[in-house]
């Protein structure tokens, strides 16, 4: 989604801003802009579309010659108002002196806009953000100080925001403010940055200060002072960045998505080494501060791919832990009656840790006094604040918008946590655990085997690309994999893909089947197998292009078949997800899509 970068220091600011924005591109955006402050007047440059367009605007204006050393930049993912130049950030006040960039949504923007218009303020965009710039500018007229103007203006704003603000009369500082949207300060000698995501600062600074909600930082070239919204100084510690800059390098792969798919065996091996030792599951450095004896029911809340990981966890945990497990899309959870209490455990899953729906769901769970566990790939993210216990995914930064390695890391995490609880609460015998671990530990090499056949999957993808739609079917443990396969295919190839429990095919979706509809069946050789094959027969009888993914090809009805190594049914989602990721990837590639940054999508959706 939107991204913020601010810079103050001795170096040419435009380059610094463009560099930081480049590292944020992965979040998904549809326009971009920068503002420079220390010349005759504040200059704002914006462009619709990708950063290359903004770069062209900067070139036309000879910005490399610009001696400015303080500036702010933004990439925007449109919410209020189309992705046009007018709606792109930075937004500037009518007198041209105050300029800002914003992430989040100002909920009461309509009332504020009306009020400001009545006072004679002219609006030029359809954004909610523009009210903030005019509001702060009006306050500046009263206070003559940027800090005081922002503090006073903030009292009128409802919603979520991270702002980076500059004033032409105060060229020695930027103001950073956060409420329900992440913002950090990157600190160096004689230069400081503001950014909405640490990736913007990788390779540029070694230390960062994380702002908390309702905090405001006055960021100068050689100082950072953090205050609360009443103006009281808050002492903050800067923290070392422990991510490497090369994490956002494709390292020879054509796309981040392919690189991230290929990294999966390494990630899983690392997680297994950390948590499986001598036929036992151990916590290692992770803490699970959950009172399991109290837990009578479990609810997972998540969105998108994380929701599918929750669906796998539900099936596996109900088997192992013998406890009712519910899975709710976070956006639904927050608008329904949830019969939860102190005996409930709510588990929030979010790769980014910034997904607004999931965060709101956890806030509500807090009010219901449930225990809360968070599973995230970003231990520095907002969601962590709402957790009683947190487990990191150890998947490394995921750049491609379509989640792959974080999904597999989520699955692996739920397997080891489930096994750990079963072991500690004596829900599975030691023999059962040993035999499960035997299969579990083979997963990385089995994924490597699937990856080694990727060219065969590429060939099948070249056929899928010719169809306007596709259907995924499965049963039991792999139904979530079918949902994930359909999601991946639509996200990056824009082919309309849907997934159904195979038994549901005959209750409606079968009407869609003919020679123009590929059906992709995920087959597990367990008690569901015979029924699944019957469902495949039903599809074949309607001339569907039939693709099977699974163990042995025991039937000849398939037009194409992707073989996966043998494992226990409960672990098969770990293997099956890899061919569906590759199918989506190669189909999108065959269609020449923008794989890492698909249209309209954002890596983390920070609005509800
Ligand atoms: C967005 C992304 C999806 C992702 C979902 C949940 O919609 O495009 O790929 O699965 O958010 O993200 P989270 O970071 O909460 O797992």
Best residue for ligand 1 mutational test, from 331, 376, 604, 608 (most atoms within 8 Å of Cβ): 604
**Per-residue pLDDT at 38:** 76
pLDDT band at 246 (very low <50, low <70, confident <90, very high): low
Interval between CA 403 and ligand 1 midpoint (Å):
7
Q: Would the pLDDT of 242 be above 80? A: no
The whole-angstrom separation of Cα 248 and Cα 128 is 32
Which residue is listed with tokens 């909920």? Answer: 107
Return d(Cα 83, Cα 368) in angstroms, integer.
39
pLDDT in tens, 413-460: 999 999 999 999 999 999 999 999 999 999 999 999 999 999 999 999
CA distance 415 to 406: 14
Q: Which residues does residue 76 pair with via DSSP β-bridges, in sequence order?
A: 31
- Ligand 1 close to Cβ of residue 358 (< 6 A): yes
Q: Are 58 and 19 in contact (CB under 8 A)?
A: no
CB 514 within 8 A of CB 542: yes
Q: Which of 197, 257, 306 is the best mutation target for the ligand 1 pocket, counting ligand atoms within 8 Å of the beta carbon and taking the most?
A: 306
Enclosing H/E stretch for 178: strand 173-179
**Catalytic (active-site) positions:** 2, 603
Of 77, 330, 352, the residue with max ligand 1 atoms within 8 A of its CB, to mutate for a pocket test, comes to 352
Least confident of 147-151, 240-244, 394-398, 466-470: 240-244
Mean pLDDT of 142-157: 97
User: Quick one: pLDDT at residue 243?
Assistant: 73
- 306 close to ligand 1 (CB < 6 Angstrom): yes
Cα(348) to centroid of ligand 1, in Å? 13
For range 190-198, the mean pLDDT: 94
Cα–Cα distance, 467 to 463 (Å, whole number): 8
Distance 26 CA to ligand 1 centre (A): 12
Q: Is the CB of 403 under 6 A from ligand 1?
A: yes
Average pLDDT over residues 126-138: 97
Secondary structure letter of residue 183 according to DSSP: -
The yes-or-no verdict on residue 400 having pLDDT over 90 is yes
Q: What is the pLDDT of residue 562?
A: 96
What is the rounded average pLDDT of the residues 549-571? 90
Q: Is the pLDDT of residue 16 over 90?
A: yes
Q: With contact defined as beta carbons under 8 Å apart, do 174 and 166 qualify? A: yes
Residue 249's pLDDT band (cuts 50, 70, 90):
confident
Q: What pLDDT does residue 380 have?
A: 78
Do residues 86 and 19 make contact, with C-beta atoms less than 8 angstroms apart? Answer: no
**Residue 113 pLDDT more than 90?**
yes
Closest protein CA for atom 5 of ligand 1:
304
Any ligand 1 atom below 6 A from CB of 329: no
CA 383 to ligand 1: nearest atom: 15
Q: Is the CB of 176 under 6 A from ligand 1?
A: no
Rounded to whole angstroms, the Cα distance separating 12 from 64 reads 8
Q: How confident is the model at residue 583 (pLDDT cuts 50, 70, 90)?
A: very high
Separation between Cα atoms, residue 44 and residue 592, nearest integer Å? 34
Calculate how far, in angstroms, residue 532's C-alpha sits from the geometric centre of ligand 1.
30
Residue 604: is its pLDDT beyond 80?
no
Tell me the whole-structure pTM to 2 decimals. Answer: 0.86
**What's the pLDDT score for residue 42?**
95
Which residue puts its alpha carbon closest to atom 11 of ligand 1? Answer: 604
Q: Which percentage of the chain shows pLDDT scores above 90?
A: 84
Q: Could you read off the pLDDT of 347-380 as tens digits, one per residue?
A: 999 999 989 899 999 999 999 999 999 999 988 7
Beta-strand ranges (E) seen in 304-455 are 325-329, 344-350, 371-376, 389-392
pLDDT at 525 over 90: no
User: What integer pLDDT is reported at residue 62 of this predicted model?
Assistant: 87
Q: Which regions of 322-370 does DSSP assign to beta strands (E)?
A: 325-329, 344-350
How many Å lie between the centroid of ligand 1 and the Cα of residue 382? 15
355 lines ligand 1 (CB under 6 A): yes
Cβ contact 472:499 at 8 Å:
yes
Task: Over range 194-222, report the average pLDDT.
Answer: 94
Q: Is the pLDDT of residue 326 over 70?
A: yes
Residues in the chain: 608
Cβ–ligand 1 contact at 401 (below 6 Å): yes
Tell me what the mean pLDDT of segment 564-579 comes to. 97
Q: Is 83 helix (H, G, I), strand (E, B) or coil?
A: coil
Q: Which burial class, exposed, middle or buried, applies to 194 when counting CB atoms under 10 A from its CB (0-12, 13-18, 19+)?
A: buried
Strands (E), 440-554: 469-474, 496-501, 518-523, 545-550
Q: Which residues contact 507 (CB under 8 A, 6 or more apart)?
A: none
For residues 164 and 296, give the distance between their C-alpha atoms in angstroms, rounded to a whole number: 45
Task: Look at residue 472 in the predicted model and tell me its pLDDT.
Answer: 98
Name the token pair of 545: 């292009």
Q: Is the pLDDT of residue 602 over 90?
A: no
Atom of ligand 1 nearest to the CA of 355: 15
- Ligand 1 pocket test: pick from 28, 197, 305, 359 the residue with the most ligand atoms within 8 Å of its Cβ: 305
Q: Going by CA atoms, what residue is nearest to atom 7 of ligand 1?
A: 304
CA atoms of 20 and 6, how far apart (whole Å)? 9
Is residue 470 within 8 Å of 516, Cβ to Cβ?
no
DSSP state letters, 91-155: EE-TTS-EEEEEEEEETTHHHHHHHHHHTTPPP-SS-SHHHHHHHHHHHHHHHS-HHHHHHHHHT
| 381 Cβ closer than 6 Å to some ligand 1 atom | no
* Cβ 73 vs Cβ 103: under 8 Å: no
Beta carbon of 604 within 6 Å of any ligand 1 atom: yes
The residue to mutate among 403, 414, 585, having the most atoms of ligand 1 within 8 angstroms of its beta carbon, is 403
Higher pLDDT, 139 or 607: 139
pLDDT of residue 381: 84
CA of 305 to the centre of ligand 1 (A): 6
Place of tokens 């218009």: 117
Distance 402 CA to ligand 1 centre (A): 8
Is-contact 476 576, C-beta < 8 A? no
Given a contact cutoff of 8 angstroms between Cβ atoms, the answer to whether 161 and 102 are in contact is yes
What average pLDDT does the chain have? 94
Closest CA to 267 of 245, 247, 241: 247
**Is 90 exceeded by the pLDDT of residue 564?**
yes
Mean pLDDT computed over 242-254? 80
Each residue of 472-500: pLDDT tens digit? Answer: 999 999 999 999 999 999 999 999 999 99
436: number of Cβ within 10 Å? 20
Give pLDDT, residue 245: 67
Say if residue 313's pLDDT is above 90: yes
Distance 353 CA to ligand 1 centre (A): 9
Instruction: Find out whether the beta carbon of 352 lies less than 6 Å from any atom of ligand 1.
Output: yes
For ligand 1, the distance from its centroid to the CA atom of residue 241, given in whole angstroms, is 24
**CA 115 to the chain's CA centroid:** 36
3-state secondary structure of 458: helix
DSSP per residue over 269-297, as a string? HHHHHHHEETTEE--TT------GGG--E
Among 167, 182, 151, CA closest to 70: 167
Is any atom of ligand 1 closer than 6 Å to the C-beta of 303? yes
């Amino acid at each position: 989604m939107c991204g913020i970068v601010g810079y103050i220091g001795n170096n040419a600011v435009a380059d610094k801003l463009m560099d930081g924005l480049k590292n944020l591109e992965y979040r998904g955006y549809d326009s971009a802009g920068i503002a420079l402050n220390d010349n005759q007047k504040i200059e704002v440059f914006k462009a619709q579309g990708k950063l290359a367009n903004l770069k062209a605007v900067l070139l036309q204006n000879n910005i490399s010659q610009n001696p400015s050393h303080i500036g702010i930049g933004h990439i925007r993912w449109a919410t209020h108002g189309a992705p046009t130049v007018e709606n792109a950030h930075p937004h500037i006040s009518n007198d041209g002196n105050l300029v800002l960039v914003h992430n989040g949504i100002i909920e009461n923007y309509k009332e504020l806009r009306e009020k400001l218009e009545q006072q004679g303020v002219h609006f030029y965009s359809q954004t909610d953000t523009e009210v903030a710039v005019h509001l702060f500018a009006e306050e500046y007229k009263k206070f003559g100080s940027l800090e005081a103007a922002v503090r006073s203006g903030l009292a009128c704003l409802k919603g979520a925001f991270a702002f980076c603000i500059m004033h032409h009369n105060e060229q020695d500082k930027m103001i950073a403010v956060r409420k329900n949207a992440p913002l950090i300060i990157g600190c160096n000698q004689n230069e400081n940055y503001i950014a909405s995501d640490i990736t913007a600062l990788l390779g540029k600074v070694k230390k960062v200060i994380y702002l908390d909600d309702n905090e405001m930082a006055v960021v100068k070239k050689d100082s950072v002072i953090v205050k609360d919204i009443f103006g009281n100084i808050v002492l903050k510690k800067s923290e070392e960045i422990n991510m490497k800059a090369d994490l956002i390098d494709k390292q020879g792969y054509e796309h981040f998505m392919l690189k991230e798919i290929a990294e999966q065996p390494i990630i899983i091996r690392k997680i297994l080494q950390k948590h499986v030792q001598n036929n036992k599951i151990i916590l290692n450095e992770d803490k699970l501060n959950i009172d399991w004896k109290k837990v009578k029911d479990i609810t997972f809340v998540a969105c998108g791919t994380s929701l599918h990981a929750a669906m796998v966890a539900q099936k596996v945990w109900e088997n192992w832990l013998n406890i009712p497990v519910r899975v709710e899309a976070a956006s639904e959870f927050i608008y329904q009656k949830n019969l939860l209490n102190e005996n409930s455990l709510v588990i929030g899953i979010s790769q980014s840790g910034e997904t607004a729906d999931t965060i709101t769901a956890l806030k509500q769970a807090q009010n219901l006094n449930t225990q809360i566990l968070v599973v995230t790939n970003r231990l520095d993210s907002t969601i962590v604040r709402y957790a009683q216990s947190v487990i990191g995914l150890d998947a490394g930064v995921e750049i491609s918008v379509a989640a792959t390695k974080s999904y597999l890391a989520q699955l692996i995490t739920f397997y080891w946590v489930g096994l750990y609880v079963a072991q500690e609460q004596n829900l599975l015998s030691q023999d059962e655990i040993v035999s499960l671990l035997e299969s579990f530990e083979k997963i990385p090499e089995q994924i490597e085997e699937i990856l080694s056949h990727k060219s065969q999957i590429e060939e099948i993808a070249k056929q899928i690309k010719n169809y306007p739609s596709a259907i995924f079917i499965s049963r039991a443990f792999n139904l979530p994999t079918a949902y994930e396969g359909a999601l991946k295919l639509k996200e990056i190839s824009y082919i309309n893909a849907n997934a159904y429990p195979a038994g549901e095919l005959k209750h409606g979706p079968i009407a869609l089947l003919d020679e123009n509809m590929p059906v992709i069946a995920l087959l597990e050789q367990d008690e569901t197998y015979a029924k699944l094959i019957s469902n495949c027969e039903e599809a074949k009888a309607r001339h569907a292009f039939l693709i099977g993914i699974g163990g042995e090809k025991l039937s000849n009805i398939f037009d194409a078949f992707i073989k996966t190594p043998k494992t226990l049914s409960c672990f098969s989602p770990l293997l099956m997800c890899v061919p569906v990721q590759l199918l989506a990837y190669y189909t999108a590639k065959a269609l020449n899509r923008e794989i890492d940054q698909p249209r309209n999508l954002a890596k983390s959706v920070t609005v509800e």
